[in-house]
Amino acid sequence: MINLKLKLFKMRWHIPRNLLMCIYLLLITGALSAQDAPTPIPPAPTLTPPTLVPALDAGAEEGVVSQSGVARIIESGRVRVGILYNEPPFGELNVRGELSGFDADLAAAIAETWGVDLRLKQVTRQTAQSMLMGGEVDLLIAAQVHRRELATQYEFSQTYHLGSQSVMVRAGDGGIKTLPELVNKRIGVTLGTPSEAALAAWSQRSGVAVTAVPFPLFERGYAALMAGEIDGIVGSRYALARIASQPDTILIIDTPLELEPYAIAMPPQDVNLRNLVNQTLQYLRIEGTLTDLRGQYFPESSYLPSVWAALPDSAPQPDQFNSVVTYPAQYVVPRLQTERVLRVALPRLPEGDAQTDSLRRLDTFYRGLVDEIGRRWQVRVEYVLVETPTQGLEAVANGQADFAVGVQANWEWDERVDFSGPYLLRGLRLLLKQNSNTFGFEELRGGRYVAYPIEQPELQALAIATAEEFNAVIRTYGAREQDLAHAIVDENNADAAFADSIALLPFIEQYANQT
């Protein structure tokens, strides 16, 4: 049996991240009403209604700002952060009258990075937006989940913590260990919280019918679970873990109902302040602070914000960012609503031998993604073919395209275009034989051969340089991309292959069961 494995190298400059620049995709969400009695949630219908072109908020102009919050932070020498005082582990006022928690420590790290004083101000779920829009605080770092319905109320940073709405069941009770096993079970939700919507949306997506049992308080739902009155309860994963007084008696199902991206909120359309915050989050990731905070407050989590290309080595400072907010001459959404045409910059497939299997797969993926967006928005897609990712960025910046695919988020472009979150993560990997006792470049010492795709000659030098970092000397062997695995398995011309994961993944499937 010959099996192949991939080895990931966690080196910042080896892991490109393809990002999509576009308006966030909108999904239809049904309105949910709280009811006093258990309500059966039916399975999802076969057809999904299309996601229409997003409508502009009639009151959006009221939130337009001419001066960025960056200017006020520079002038005053301090940043005012709204934070919750009763939401552990994000923010909590302890018995000594000190504020502690993930959000409190993150706010302190941001202020220290900027070299300004920190003023923490208490907000509640009811007062947070009014205090932000009224200028009482500059930022909200208040266990705020980035939800689609809040997009017109706030400008959001990158996700700094990825949580979830999850389900807790009694350990060993009826063998419930996975979400599908909740079929026809009674599941508790807390009225007026995201748990209601999360359970309903998951039931519709999965087709698994459950009965929602509403409770006025989360604690009452937990008591009902432990008393055997319900089969499970929904809540944020950290809240479920904290409420369990006897951890051995409960089980939190691994698969979440819904992911919850926690982000920093600021006044809408203040893109300069948003860029300052995002660059700071990325700097704190590289510098190690975010890793330390994650380990302290969410040790079970592996999430960290993605890092854009061209991130400066030095700490970002407020005076490096524009204090005046500029707006586009024409917004994309109104044109989409009238013309019903979506213009998308797409990398052109090369001809001849340069057209590799991985490039064809990427082209199929990009077109499938864009066509699905067009279908949901009910618009016609027009592709603007470009030769390089830079040309795609230029097409967006110059108004020739509405968004571009196949590009990488880059700080050198942050003043000209907007980037969405990542939709595809890829990077350079080693392809190795299973059971070869080789786990990376360190084990390739002694002049062993590493194959690289001849279509990307720059990878030859990169493989040699990477091996030298591990004090290993290797020899290289050039092969066509589609022949990389053959060089290892069939021809024995190489001990490993070094290439983009998009190029290597098909070989894992091809050789999975070959004898």
Q: What is the DSSP letter of 440?
A: S
pLDDT at 302: 94
C-alpha 139/C-alpha 161 separation (Å) is 16
User: Is the Cα torsion angle 114, 397, 149, 43 positive or negative in sign?
Assistant: negative
* Contact present, 455 and 354 (Cβ < 8 Å): yes
Round to whole Å and give the CA distance between 381 and 343.
6
Domains and CATH numbers, the chain: 4-15+427-510 (3.40.190.10), 17-23+331-425 (3.40.190.10), 60-154+267-320 (3.40.190.10), 162-259 (3.40.190.10)
User: Is residue 450 a contact partner of residue 463, using CB atoms and an 8 Å limit?
Assistant: yes
CA distance 511 to 515: 9
Residue 446: per-residue pLDDT? 86
Return the H-helix or E-strand segment holding 46. none
Strands (E), 409-508: 422-425, 428-433, 449-453, 475-479, 496-500
- pLDDT of 4: 62
Question: Could you report the per-residue pLDDT of 4-34, keeping only the tens digit for each?
Answer: 665 544 433 333 333 333 333 322 223 223 3
Q: Which two tokens stand for residue 257?
A: 């109902």
Q: How far apart are CA 24 and CA 27, in angstroms?
A: 10
Radius of gyration for the alpha carbons in the chain, expressed in angstroms and rounded: 26
How many alpha carbons lie under 13 Å from residue 271 in its C-beta half-sphere?
13
Q: Please tell me the number of Cα atoms within 13 Å of 62 on its side-chain side.
A: 8
What pLDDT sits at residue 366?
A: 98
Q: CA triplet 184, 186, 191: central angle to 5 degrees? A: 130
The token pair that represents 242 in the structure block: 């904290």
Confidence of residue 3 (pLDDT cuts 50, 70, 90): low
Percent of the chain with pLDDT over 70: 87
What does the pLDDT look like over 142-172, one tens digit per residue? 999 999 999 999 999 999 999 999 999 999 7
Tokens of 93: 């006022």
- Above 60 in pLDDT, residue 53? no
Cα→Cα distances 349→83, 400, 408, 455, 459, Å: 49, 20, 18, 14, 20
**pLDDT at residue 253 is higher than 90:** yes
**DSSP secondary structure code for residue 279 in this structure:** H
Distance between CA atoms of residues 392 and 318, nearest Å: 29
Please, what is the angle between helix 271-287 and helix 69-76, to 10°? 70
pLDDT-derived band at 40, boundaries 50, 70, 90: very low
What is the predicted pLDDT for the residue at 209?
A: 98
pLDDT tier at 430 (50, 70, 90 boundaries)?
very high
Task: Output 59-65 pairs: Cβ under 8 A, ≥24 positions apart.
Answer: 59/152, 60/152, 60/268, 63/133, 63/152, 63/153, 63/267, 63/268, 63/269, 64/269, 64/327, 65/267, 65/268, 65/269, 65/270, 65/325
Q: What is the pLDDT of residues 179-217, one digit of tens each?
A: 999 999 999 999 999 999 999 999 999 999 999 999 999
Q: pLDDT digits over 381-405, tens only?
A: 999 999 999 999 999 999 999 999 9
Give the model's pLDDT for residue 330.
84
E-strand stretches of 274-425: 341-347, 380-386, 403-408, 422-425
Asked if the model's pLDDT at residue 44 lies above 70, the reply is no
Q: How confident is the model at residue 65 (pLDDT cuts 50, 70, 90)?
A: confident
458-480 pLDDT, tens digit per residue, is 999 999 999 999 999 999 999 99
Residue 42 has pLDDT above 50, yes or no: no
The mean pLDDT of the chain is: 88
**Inter-CA distances, 459 with 437, 452, 462, 465, 476, Å:** 24, 6, 5, 10, 10
Cα(236)–Cα(242) distance, integer angstroms: 10
